[in-house]
Chain A
Amino acid sequence: MLEVRGLAKRFGGVRAVDGIDFAIKPGEVFGLIGPNGSGKSTTVNLVCGLYEPTAGAILFEGQDIVRVPTHQRLSLGLARTFQNIRLFANLTVWENLWMAENAPAHRTESGFLKRWIGGRGDARDRIAKALEFSGLSHRADDLAGSLAFGEQRRLELARALAAKPKLLLLDEPAAGMNAEEIAQLDERIRALQRQGYTILLIEHHMELVMAVTDRICVLNFGRKIAEGTPGEVQADPAVREAYLGTAA
């Protein structure tokens, strides 16, 4: 579904991403891990179009999307969540979800005029369902900025899902979560996979990654140092060296 070939990004003299390749198959949960500064977030930003690559290709369903502007990548089926939550703080929870209805799927559901000028009635059912799935129905009319941290994370995810993506990019969703919340996240990711979503998961939390992913790619200093199933990656000495500093 998503293939990255020779992807590179330089910021001045810094090579944040230095030529990486990986491919994600439809329906799998693919993990992207690496120590801090290894280029994970940069890679996500490149895939989403927030940065322009210095070199390389990004193929989504076979098509190179490097030239596609950011907001159009969503119509292609790419949605993401942010590491440090970027909700529309002064919009209500309901409105935040409403904003994400920009996919082609929505275009067929309601006409152009309805989508832009229409009132809330049209989207009511869809958004109610989305709120239920993320357990936020009781907070529908509250400003997104007033939500508790865990609720904000759920809303971010719900917003990404509201766009009906094919590929879901989760940028460190477990950051700041306690054990119970992470268990819920684990369950949620599995549920999403069962529903047919393909997921690219960037994470630091090793237990979660090992538990929930089908395959993992490990980055260090902007380069890929390992790729494989969780078991393979755990056993890989290069990975251990990158994280722990010495071959243990």
Chain B
Amino acid sequence: MDFYYSLAQIIGFHALIGLSAYVVLQTGQVSLAQAGFFAIGAYVAAMLTVLAGWHLVPAMLAAGVAAAVMACIVGFPALRVRGLMLVIATLAFGEAVRLFFFNFDYQIAKGGVKVGPLGGEGFRQIRWFPEHGWTSFDVMLFVWAVVALVAGALWWMDRSRFGAVLRAVGEDELAAQSVGLNLTAVKVAAMTIGGFIAGLGGAIYAHYTTHIEHSNFNVLLATFAIAYPILGGLRNVFGTIVAVIFVQGFLVEGLRFLGDWRNLLFGALIVLAMNLRPNGLIDAATAQRLARLFGRETRRA
């Protein structure tokens, strides 16, 4: 059973980082920086619970805020670069964050033992869960409670005016400007929200895995982050979640017997998916059809 709890938890973190990318991608900004914000969330939360003795939940929220602040700061220069240049810039940023933590030492002595992040070795002994008697099952519930909250908030955002504004900016910036939408505000807001969500994910991840190091937050993770919303279709929160469950659940664990070939299969899957469904599994047209199928009365004017 523990295996399944663990799998569910992993799906949870990936869902959070996927959702963080979902928000940003809707505005047309392809960001490979989400892994960086995830890392910031992880280290900040771990430092708060281990070094400063905070309870997990405030530490998690503080980590989210820290990541959000960083995302906001990144959001402004990001406005100056368009499209593919942004991909590169965010990739470089993510790598810079990873390298920063690779070089980051901050240890203090607690009860005769030194704890804290130690450069390449990473940050060990993040033991808030075991110290407070949480079982694997408890952690899984907690992770999924957070995911449900975030997904719910985003689903509601999707249906609100702000959600439509995000998509409008992603569709056509020129038209959006001419119609009175403030591009700067919208794009930076999206980046900030995405940063917050990634920070939350990183915070919980750090405590789940009890030992984090720079290589956990590499380009592969950044790729996963944007792969989920792209594979799932940018029209809908559920697309992203379905993609996470599919990729992590079936591919990575269900094909466990393929061992090290998982990443290879992931890469091949992405190439195949993009050839067959370039707009994602649940693109705008599919979302329309699904909405009609379920007779969404609320969409009628």
Contacts and interface: CB of A to CB of B under 8 A. Distances in A.
Nearest to B298: A120
B175 A124 contact: no
A116 interface: yes
A147 to B, nearest CB: 13
Nearest to A165: B180
A234 interface: no
B270 interface: no
Nearest to B181: A71
Given A88-B168, A98-B164, A141-B299, A163 B179 contact: yes
Contacts of A204: none
A86 B172 contact: yes
Interface residues of B, number: 29
Contact of A71 (B171, B182, B299): B182
A128 B179 contact: no
Given A75-B180, A119-B159, A143-B285, A92 B299 contact: yes
Contacts of B174: 50, 86
B14 interface: no
A100 B180 contact: yes
A22 interface: no
Given A92-B299, A119-B160, A71 B175 contact: no
A143 B286 CA distance: 11
A140 interface: yes
Interface string A120-140: 100110011001000001001
Interface in A42-94: 48-50, 70-72, 74-75, 79-80, 82, 86-92, 94
B180 A71 contact: yes
A74 B161 contact: no
B87 interface: no
A99 B165 contact: yes
A91 B171 contact: yes
A229 interface: no
B235 interface: yes
Contacts of B171: 88-91
B183 interface: yes
Nearest to B182: A71
B164 A95 contact: yes
Given A116-B160, A127-B301, A90 B167 contact: yes
Nearest to B160: A117
B159 A120 contact: yes
Interface in B108-130: none
Contacts of A163: 179-180
A90 B284 contact: yes
A176 interface: no
A198 B175 CA distance: 21
A193 interface: no
Given A74-B179, A99-B165, A141 B160 contact: no
Nearest to B165: A99
A80 B298 contact: no
A113 B161 CA distance: 10
B100 interface: no
Contacts of A88: 167-168, 171-172, 175-176
B275 interface: no
A159 B168 CA distance: 13
A94 B301 contact: yes
B181 A98 contact: no
A141 B301 CA distance: 8
A50 B164 contact: no
Contacts of A127: 301
A70 B179 CA distance: 9
Contacts of A79: 178-179
A105 to B, nearest CB: 11
13 contacts: A48-B178, A71-B176, A74-B178, A75-B180, A79-B178, A82-B178, A88-B171, A99-B165, A99-B179, A115-B161, A120-B299, A140-B301, A143-B284
Given A80-B178, A86-B172, A92-B299, 4 more contacts: A88-B167, A100-B179, A116-B162, A143-B288
